Amino acid sequence: MPLKSLLKKTINYGKQCYCPICNSKLRTFKPMQTVSPRLNALCPVCHSLERHRMIWLFLQHETDLFSSAPKKMLHIAPEECLAQKIAQCSTIDYLTADLNNSAMVRMDLTDIQYPDQSFDVIYCSHVLEHIPDDAQAMAELARVLKSTGWAIIQVPILRELTYEDLSITDPKERERLFGQSDHVRIYGYDYRNRLENAGFKVTVIPYLEQYDKTARQKFGFDINQDDIYYCQRST
């Protein structure tokens, strides 16, 4: 373990909270000062957020990602805390991709330069809200997913119906309407329909419902709801 991480674990040691990604016992998670401040959000050791810890537990306990069967996985806009853990698994042929140079390959999700059915697993979280043509991006993700594979494609869902207006380009106006200056829409619960129209069969999993108040406090799940959108090819 790097000395810096060990030092952080020691400084923040406690018995109230636990990060399952870096296996840290903590006094508390740190607050996040966003549009809607969250008090129990950020791991002080690996910098994971609530959604990262939720997905990590789901991947471990509810999927076959870490089974002995080899898999080719595409991870879009990789979160460092998750990428470091997944890359350690010898049975995963792991590829990270982003539009900038922060990943293994540069990738435009609206024009993925890989053949049909290239990947067994795709994980893409909080990316589509940045992409003007999200329908094309979803269709491309469906195209490169194997017929026997699965994908988790997450976005922030904050209203009943999706609202977008691509004519809005002013960063301040985007932040006011969409919650962030580089977002081009705010998704609603019709997000599932958008995925299905792109070629996915979607199962919406209310994963956090299985955690009681004590467990939610322990893992820092200080969010009302963050359903998991588990996707497979519809054809």
Domain boundaries defined on the chain: 59-233
From 76, 83, 202, select the one nearest 127 (Cα to Cα). Answer: 76
Domain boundaries 59-233, corresponding CATH code: 3.40.50.150
- Rounded Cα gap, residues 120 and 151, in angstroms: 8
CB 49 within 8 A of CB 31: no
Q: Is the entire prediction scored with pTM above 0.75?
A: yes
Q: Residue 10 has what pLDDT?
A: 87
C-alpha torsion sign, points 59, 60, 62, 66: positive
Q: What is the mean pLDDT of each run of 10 residues along the chain (235 residues)?
A: 78 94 96 76 96 97 97 97 97 96 94 98 97 98 98 95 96 93 96 98 96 93 84 94
Q: Residue 224 has what pLDDT?
A: 65
